[in-house]
Copies of this chain bind each other. A is one copy, B any other.
Amino acid sequence: MVRTIALLTDFGLDDNYVGVIKGVILKINPRLHIVDVGHLILPQDICQAALSLKSSYRYFPKKTIFLAIVDPGVGSKRRAIILQTPDYTFVAPDNGILSLAAECEPRFRITEITTTKYFLKPLSRTFHGRDIFAPTAAYLSLGMSPKKFGKPLTTLTRLKLPKPMINFKTRALTAEIIAIDRFGNLTTNIEEKDLHTLKNNFRIKINNRTIIGLADSYAQMKKHQPLGVINSAGYLEIAVNCGSAEKVLRAAKGTRLTVIF
């Protein structure tokens, strides 16, 4: 079976960092697929990377190994880990980047990467993606056991994401924009299940605009009108048909919105 290694980093595409990591991987295991989940995570934005991983990993083939590197603590004492679920393996710094995906999994095992045997030598101070994480993922893809890389860990560093707050007295759910995509679609921190509780009977207020309920699709709404929709990651999204909600609503990451029910 040809396994897949999927890469998620904040390395950008201007430099050769991503290419070098792929070279390192293929040097160890030339029989696999390498897929980019993305490399344009904002520099050092662990939260964005954790959300991206959470909303994407289940679409990949079983046995895929995710190499997730947003690593502002490179060279410090932050731990490097392997996290295994029944279906997937993740290799990353232990800084919270894996915690949102891990929350979706009933069980997983963690190994700290400490054995230096598989590291590239000389070990650089600034590029553990190349020297530690890439070879680890590559040897794992050959079927090597995580036990070879170090000892089990019982704790995982967790991210704290802002949660929407409900006020039953004012019948308002206060939330915020946590991500914006290329089309200007705004992802909120409200999940589909939060709205089910509200029985889908509500209006959304954001920057002095009001949106009534949920649309079935972008195209259902008039052109240039804002709408609410459950997006492909399961979150409430504010969009504008044939336009950018970011521009039309002058919204940014962190912009507040209220759902009145």
A-to-B contact residues, CB < 8 Å = 1-2, 4, 6, 8, 10-20, 22-24, 26-27, 30-31, 33-40, 43-44, 52, 55-56, 59-62, 64, 72-76, 78, 124-127, 130-131, 181-183, 185, 215-220, 229-232, 237, 239, 242
Contacts and interface: CB of A to CB of B under 8 A. Distances in A.
A75 B125 contact: no
A59 B232 CA distance: 33
Given A12-B182, A30-B2, A30-B33, A23 B217 contact: no
Contact of A19 (B10, B56, B130, B182): B56
20 contacts: A4-B30, A12-B182, A13-B39, A19-B56, A22-B35, A22-B36, A23-B35, A23-B59, A24-B59, A26-B35, A26-B60, A30-B33, A30-B61, A43-B183, A72-B218, A72-B242, A74-B217, A75-B220, A76-B217, A126-B237
